[in-house]
Amino acid sequence: MSADPVAELTAFARSLREAGVTADASRVVAAAGALDHVDVLDRHQVYWTTRLTLCSEPDDLPRFDAAFAEWFGDRPSPAAVESTVQIPGRAGSSGDGAAARVERVAATALETLRTRDVAALTAAERAEVRRLIALLAPSVGTRRSVRRRPGGRAGVDPVRTMRTMLRAGGEPIVLARWRRREKPRRLVLLVDVSGSMAPYADWLLLFAHAAVRVRPFATEAFTVGTRLTRVTRALRLRDPDAALQAAAQTVPDWSGGTRLGESLQAFLDRWGQRGAARGAVVVIFSDGWERGGAELLGQQAARLRRLAHAVVWVNPHKGKEGFTPETAGMLAALPYVDALLAGHTVATLADLAAVMRTI
């Protein structure tokens, strides 16, 4: 680090914030404090110390590594979240690893990483759609939780009974009882933003925004396409325009290809299986166009069905006359879907909201 470490640290944190890492002031103060305890001439120690204090989630780590490399030269540790593991030893194994890497690079190059232009909607349209969709206030029902609350007739609550006895000098005058508490059921929205869904993506994200606004902490929203992107945080913004703008900046694969099976697998691996999909209502917005094999999509849909409370598939083409679910992806996933709905107009979105409420 240079002569004035604090100034350099502040500038570094600013570049991190530009890259999307929440390196706010209090974290910078913590980093400055932490650097006091380590050897600032040792790049490894500086790397780990700043990473420990400035990052706060796994998504931050690749951004941090890139920014660190830019500022201080090559990052000393390749510790990424998904590390490529190679089997050392015999000849040929390293060749396999290299081939896999080339494949991955090629796949990335295939993605059309375009950033979506939200301004494509006219202001009048946007205002009207926003008003109508916000009125839907989509949400799902409740589930019984293991938590108890006072009242009801379910059973005797010994602790509270004892407490009232204490007040009455040890006589059990009133039996305190409890009842089960209801909790909002989790809702997960997966919005396909690939090229074939482009005319609907805005509408659907607005719908997702309305849902997130109703229950910000029981709702998760993701976009799927060539990759999985979590947009819940962006959609928590109050203003629909600002939320859509923020979401558009987060999503790298607007109007790209579709690898629905892989995206769904990524969702289940990183979020779904750990809890986000367990007992949740999962709504998938997609036309089922699948560039990858439909077999993977079928497997993952089955896996999703085992975790979720209900799976709703929204296909904009369903509302059109003569629709039969004939895209390969749609056919593969159909056996695991509880309801197949349209959702290409505000009216059909209202139907969807009604179905979600009763599920």
Q: What is the binding site for other proteins (CB under 8 A)?
A: 22, 24, 26-27, 30, 33-34, 37-39, 44-45, 48-49, 51-53, 55-58, 61, 77, 79-81, 83-90, 92-93, 96, 145-147, 159, 162-163, 165-166, 169-170, 217, 232, 265, 269-271, 273-276, 299, 303
Give me the residue label for tokens 């205002």: 127
Q: Which is nearer to other proteins, 8 or 59 (CB)?
A: 59
CA–CA gap between residue 20 and residue 60 (Å, rounded): 8
Q: Please report how close the Cβ of residue 75 comes to other proteins at its closest, in angstroms.
A: 12
Pick from 332, 333, 195: nearest CA to 258: 195
Under a CB-based contact definition with an 8 Å cutoff, are residues 310 and 336 in contact?
A: no
Q: Which is nearer to other proteins, 136 or 296 (CB)?
A: 296
Give me the residue label for tokens 């001439």: 41
Collapse the DSSP code of 287 into the 3-class scheme (helix H, G, I; strand E, B; otherwise coil) and give the result: coil
Q: Please report how close the Cβ of residue 27 comes to other proteins at its closest, in angstroms.
A: 7
Q: Please report how close the Cβ of residue 34 comes to other proteins at its closest, in angstroms.
A: 5
Pick from 188, 346, 329, 191: nearest CA to 254: 191
Q: Please report how close the Cβ of residue 331 comes to other proteins at its closest, in angstroms.
A: 21
Question: For the chain, how far is it from start to end, CA to CA, in angstroms?
Answer: 58
CA–CA gap between residue 25 and residue 35 (Å, rounded): 15
Q: Which is nearer to other proteins, 52 or 98 (CB)?
A: 52
Q: How many CB atoms lie within 10 A of CB 99?
A: 10
Helix H, strand E, coil C: the string for 296-334 is HHHHHHHHHHHHCCEEEEECHHHHCCCCCCCCHHHHHHH
Q: Which is nearer to other proteins, 26 or 358 (CB)?
A: 26
Phi and psi at residue 45, to the nearest 5°: -65, -40
Q: Please report how close the Cβ of residue 25 comes to other proteins at its closest, in angstroms.
A: 10
To the nearest 5 percent, what fractions of the chain are helix, strand and coil? 50, 15, 35
Q: Please report how close the Cβ of residue 72 comes to other proteins at its closest, in angstroms.
A: 16
Q: Which is nearer to other proteins, 232 or 327 (CB)?
A: 232
Q: Which is nearer to other proteins, 56 or 345 (CB)?
A: 56
CA–CA gap between residue 286 and residue 259 (Å, rounded): 11
Q: Which is nearer to other proteins, 293 or 325 (CB)?
A: 293
Q: Which is nearer to other proteins, 30 or 121 (CB)?
A: 30
Q: Please report how close the Cβ of residue 53 comes to other proteins at its closest, in angstroms.
A: 6
CA–CA gap between residue 22 and residue 33 (Å, rounded): 18
Q: Please report how close the Cβ of residue 55 comes to other proteins at its closest, in angstroms.
A: 5
